[in-house]
Structure 1
Amino acid sequence: MDSRSRRSTRALMLSALALGAVLPATVSAPVAAAPTGPDVSSWQHTGGRLIDWFAVRRAGHPFAMVKATEGLSYVNPYFVPDSLMMRAAGVARGTYHYARPELPPEPQAVFYAATVLGQNGPLDLPPVLDLEHSGGLSPAALIDWTHRYLNTVRALTGRMPIIYTYPVFWRTAMADTDQFTRYPLWIADYRGNPAPEVPGGWPTWTFWQTTDRGSIPGIAGPTDINVYSGAQGDLGRWANMSGLFGSS
């Protein structure tokens, strides 16, 4: 997700892997020829350059995730132009809020929902909660925070949110809770395995962030790349454009 906020979490991931702390529990899911797409924030706008979403779409990427908000005050300055150009190019749009659990969840959910003006129109994927930091909360408190945020966003947008996280964080900061399995999972796992590790009792993953060093035409510099598993059915239908992308 956001490059600045990922540095510390990635260091923790690598440290845990080096110590053998990760015990892979993979779920088989086909990824060959599955739909792929980037996720972007202000960091993909090097020197203020806009993303060429038509080039992204021509390169075969039918969806993308865009950072919308963080905490209670930050709005991605490129959120509006990215959103407009994605729609014009026919790229299905997911939008995410970067969680700051040291701040109350309900106002963050309202801030996000007001910024994205809902997430239920044509070419809209469900809203995403990017959960990578505990904010100093205990697992029990963070689990409660997450429930409250997701319930509020669901009430405001009318859609079941997606949770973005990574295995080490979920197993430690969230005590590997299985309380969120009804939400689609977007998991970050860069180890190059046939499938990602799926924590928290989820039966499968929906999106898999396979790298943060990908290259996509139309985006300056490296970008995250994600795979859609098909767990929610046809991608076009899920993005409120039935049949747009064909069967997944």
Structure 2
Amino acid sequence: METSRFGAYTRRLGSALSLLAPLGILVATSPSTAAAPTGPDVSSWQHGDGRLIDWFSVKRAGHNFAMVKATEGLNYINPYFVPDSLLMRAAGLARGTYHYARPNLPPEPQAALYAAVVLGQNGPLDLPPVLDLENSGGLNPAGLIDWTHRYLNTVQALTGRVPIVYTYPNFWRTAMADTTEFTRYPLWIADYRGNAQPEVPGGWNTWTFWQTTDSGSIPGIAGRTDLNVYSGAQGDLARYANMVGLTGSG
């Protein structure tokens, strides 16, 4: 498991800014031509030996967005969150951020930690906040459902955007008793079985993001990474990520 390294912020931020300085830009302007927007999701695991991700290579490989882990539980902040956020924005990738839920701990302070760390969720290139729910924390379904409502309500109040729920079909069917209480939230589903479409639990009538594999390979990212596709369920990705009006976006 990753551990908190608050002091790493300064070192990682300095490295990212040194890469940005000679570029003289904050947003790349080359629009993607991919029919179905795709992108990785990353955490500290994709930073072996402390190396930074080359987000410009990720963009040149045809990807349109990326999800980056921000926080976990009550005290973990991804030490690479700041440089990843800066560099993926510089490369012109829409940025999603997620909190890994620890339901054995109270939800409201977890939501507050996440909201304080993510550098805003309403600017250009920002996708809505994401709750990564794949651990019950020992709660029974009724308790976990209540925990999830409380977390999502708090994050929406703090960020002003309707959150996305990330989960697995089997986890939702069992730990969440396949509840249909969350269909107002967009679904990011992880299903690696190679089907033409993922399994959609919980009464959702569609998926918004689909994590198709946890062992993909992308130029610019060392080692294996998760790969995702956007369905268009929330409309054009540019609008969903507040990209409309940016030079080169439409």
TM-score (norm 2): 0.85
Which of 56, 59, 64 aligns to 1:57? It is: 59
Tell me if the contact between 1:69 and 1:76 (Cα under 8 Å) persists in the aligned partners: yes
Quote the residue 1:46 is aligned against: 48
- Structure 1 runs of 4+ aligned residues shifted over 4 Å read 243-247
| Structure 1 residue 33, shift from structure 2 partner | 3.4
Whole-Å separation in 1 of the counterparts to 2:118 and 2:225: 22
Which of 214, 217, 228 aligns to 1:215? It is: 217
Q: For 1:66-122, what per-residue CA distance to the aligned partner results, in whole angstroms no more than 9, with x for missing partners?
A: 000000000000000000001111110000000000000000000000011321111
Q: Give identity over the alignment, percent.
A: 83
User: Residue 41 of structure 1 aligns to which amino acid in structure 2?
Assistant: S
Q: How does 1:1-248 map to 2 (within 5 A)?
A: 33-242=35-244
Tell me if the contact between 1:124 and 1:240 (Cα under 8 Å) persists in the aligned partners: yes
| Structure 1 residue 47, shift from structure 2 partner | 1.0
Q: For 1:134-185, what per-residue CA distance to the aligned partner results, in whole angstroms no more than 9, with x for missing partners?
A: 0000100000000000000000000000000000000000000000000000
TM-score (norm 1): 0.85
| Structure 1 residue 189, shift from structure 2 partner | 0.2
Q: Aligned-residue CA RMSD in angstroms?
A: 1.6
User: Residue 91 of structure 1 aligns to which amino acid in structure 2?
Assistant: L
Whole-Å separation in 2 of the counterparts to 1:147 and 1:117: 23
Flag the 1:246–1:85 CA change in 2: closer, same or farther, 3 A. Answer: closer
| Structure 1 residue 246, shift from structure 2 partner | 6.7
SS in 1 for 2:189: strand
Whole-Å separation in 2 of the counterparts to 1:127 and 1:108: 13
Tell me if the contact between 1:68 and 1:112 (Cα under 8 Å) persists in the aligned partners: yes
Q: How many residues align?
A: 218
Tell me if the contact between 1:236 and 1:243 (Cα under 8 Å) persists in the aligned partners: no
Whole-Å separation in 1 of the counterparts to 2:166 and 2:249: 25
Question: Relative to structure 2, which stretch is displaced further, 118-127 or 237-246?
Answer: 237-246
Please list every run of 5 or more consecutive structure 1 residues that lacks an aligned counterpart in the other structure.
Answer: 4-31
Q: For 1:168-220, what per-residue CA distance to the aligned partner results, in whole angstroms no more than 9, with x for missing partners?
A: 00000000000000000000000000000000000100000000110101000
Quote the residue 1:26 is aligned against: none
Please list every run of 5 or more consecutive structure 2 residues that lacks an aligned counterpart in the other structure.
Answer: 3-33
Flag the 1:74–1:202 CA change in 2: closer, same or farther, 3 A. Answer: same
Tell me if the contact between 2:36 and 2:230 (Cα under 8 Å) persists in the aligned partners: yes
SS in 1 for 2:228: strand
